[in-house]
Amino acid sequence: MSVSPVVRERGRLVAGGGAVGAAATPVLVIGLVAVGGFGPLAAAETAFAFGGLWFGLALLGWAGSVASGRAIEAAQEHLDADTNWTERRSRRAMARIGGFGAGMMLVAPVLGTLVG
């Protein structure tokens, strides 16, 4: 079964962010244990909450871009205040950030189970 290029591109964006998030989680956990004085499980839980922040923010940003992006673009054009912001680029950025947060939220429980 072939996957459409659009879906493949979107998947690549989210997966790219997810890979970075997944790689950043052990670094954050080790940093929290070594520098912050956290226990291993508490550090993994904090990493999960951090991931949640990024993921929640990205979901809101993505939904906001989809819902109001065109209107914002039109308003910018209307007010002659072109900031180079576009709905498409905003959605792509939010997909990356969301992937990053989701990556952290997926890896943190694995680390927590291993060290907890």
Partner 1 sequence: MFPKRFVLKRLLLLVPVLIGVATLVFSILHLSPGDPALTIAGERASQEFVERIRADLGLNDPIWVQYIDFLGKVVRFDFGESYVINRNTTVREIMANTLPVTLELALYGQLFGILFGIPLGVLSAVKQDTLTDHSTRVGALAGISVPIFWSGPLLILLFAQVLGVLPTSGRISSTFSVSPIRVTGMVTIDTLLAGEWDMFKSAVRHMLLPSLVIGVYSMALISRMMRSSMLEVVRQDYMRTARAKGQGAKITVLKHGFRNALIPVVTIIGIQFGGLLGGAVLTETVFAIGGLGTLLVEAIEVGDYPIVQGTVLMFAFLFTLVNLVVDITYSYLDPRIQQ
Binding site for partner 1 (CB under 8 A): 41, 45-46, 48-53, 55-60, 62-64, 66-68, 71, 74-75, 78-79, 105, 108-109, 112, 116
Instruction: CB nearer to partner 1: give 16 or 73.
Output: 73
Q: Which residues contact 104 (CB under 8 A, 6 or more apart)?
A: 21, 22, 24, 25, 28, 47, 48, 50, 51, 54, 55
Among positive and negative, which fits the CA dihedral 85, 89, 92, 97? Answer: negative
Q: In whole angstroms, how far apart are CA 25 and each of 32, 50, 55, 75?
A: 10, 9, 14, 39
Minimum distance from CB of 2 to partner 1 (Å)?
A: 26
Nearer to partner 1, 3 or 81 (CB): 81
Nearest distance in Å: CB 106, partner 1: 9
Q: CA–CA separation, 18 vs 83, rounded Å?
A: 29
Please, what is the minimum distance in Å from the beta carbon of residue 6 to partner 1?
17
Q: Considering beta carbons, is residue 23 or 71 the nearer one to partner 1?
A: 71
The residue (of 3 and 79) whose beta carbon lies closer to partner 1 is 79
